[in-house]
């Protein structure tokens, strides 16, 4: 089963994403950016779901540090964010995220569709 | 807009059965009082950053369980805080909306017990 990582500090969002993904993917869960960076580097997944509003080190900083590592530069990363303001999609894609999915996840097929699309592109 | 959108709970049921509905509601109810308190305290202290953080957490969690009016109030508070002001009247409204959402969600939990 393809393994993906979820970086999310909200327990309820982790539970929901796990419920959405668990039949299709193996999920590594991280609550902080720091834990995610070391875990992902030690055991790289096929894709990362990365929350933007993380305490201490936010998602954009986690992405920047992932991209600094040669081996992780091409890792597909989806921004998961509740910052649904006009222009956000362009902003996050411009920062180097491969896709952008807004929370709350009202349609799980959007998230699954983006995961599948990016995994297919990289395969 | 009702306090809790039944379609959101139905969506959770479709994704993860009655067990997911129950666990999502329980998680929401266990974290929300602390977030409501943080919002109120932050508003009282004039701490816009604390208000923005608490509102952001509340927005996301409320949306997951279909507490749409609560989510809207949290969103309005978050966006006011992001531009440096504290929407005190909306904080009061949020406290009220939380009470309403909590009542409906507790009822949904009881019904799932029965």
Partners of residue A79 in chain B, C-beta under 8 Å: none
Distance from CA of B15 to the nearest CA of A (A): 6
Mean pLDDT of A88-105: 91
Q: What residue numbers bound the domain in which B91 lies? A: 6-113
pLDDT tens-digit profile of A45-67?
A: 999 999 998 988 999 999 999 99
Instruction: Tell me if chain A has a CB within 8 Å of the CB of B50.
Output: no
**CATH number of the domain enclosing B39:** 1.20.120.160
pTM: 0.91
C-beta atoms of B31 and A106 within 8 A = no
Q: Domain boundaries in chain A?
A: 3-122
Are the Cβ atoms of B64 and A108 closer than 8 angstroms? no
Which tens digits make up the pLDDT trace of B58-69? 998 999 999 999
Query: What ipTM does this complex have?
Result: 0.87
Asked if the structure places residue B65 within a domain, the reply is: yes
What is the side-by-side strand order in the sheet with A99-102? Answer: A26-30, A3-7, A47-51, A77-81, A99-102
Neighboring chain A residues of B79 at a CB cutoff of 8 Å = 85
- In chain B, how many domains are there? 1
Would B1 be classed as within a structural domain? no
d(CA B13, CA A23) in angstroms, rounded, equals 15
pLDDT above 60 for B114: no
Instruction: Flag the least confident range among A84-88, A119-123, B71-75.
Output: A84-88
Bridge partners of A5, per DSSP, are A28, A48
What topology does CATH give the domain A3-122?
Rossmann fold (3.40.50)
% of residues, chain A, pLDDT over 70? 98
Task: Provide DSSP, A4-64.
Answer: EEEE-S-HHHHHHHHHHHTTT-EEEEESSHHHHHHHHHHS--SEEEEES--SSS-HHHHHH
């Amino acid at each position: 089963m393809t393994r993906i990582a979820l970086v999310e500090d909200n327990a309820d969002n982790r539970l929901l994403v796990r419920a959405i993904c668990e039949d299709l993917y193996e999920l590594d869960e991280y609550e902080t950016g720091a834990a995610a960076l070391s875990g992902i580097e030690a055991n790289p997944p096929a894709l990362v779901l990365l929350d933007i509003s993380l305490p201490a080190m936010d998602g954009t900083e986690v992405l920047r540090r992932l991209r600094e590592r040669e081996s992780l530069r091409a890792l597909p990363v989806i921004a998961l964010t509740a910052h649904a303001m006009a222009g956000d999609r362009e902003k996050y894609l411009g920062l180097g995220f491969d896709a952008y999915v807004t929370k709350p996840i009202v349609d799980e097929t959007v998230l699954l569709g983006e995961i599948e699309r990016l995994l297919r592109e990289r395969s | 807009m009702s306090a809790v959108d039944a379609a959101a709970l139905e969506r959770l049921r479709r994704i993860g059965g009655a067990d997911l509905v129950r666990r999502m509601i329980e998680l929401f109810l266990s974290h929300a009082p602390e977030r409501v308190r943080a919002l109120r305290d932050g508003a009282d202290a004039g701490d816009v950053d604390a208000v923005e953080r608490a509102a952001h957490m509340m927005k996301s969690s409320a949306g997951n369980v279909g507490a749409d009016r609560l989510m809207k109030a949290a969103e309005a508070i978050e966006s006011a805080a992001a531009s440096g002001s504290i929407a005190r009247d909306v904080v009061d409204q949020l406290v009220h909306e939380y009470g309403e959402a909590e009542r409906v969600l507790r009822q949904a939990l009881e019904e799932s017990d029965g």
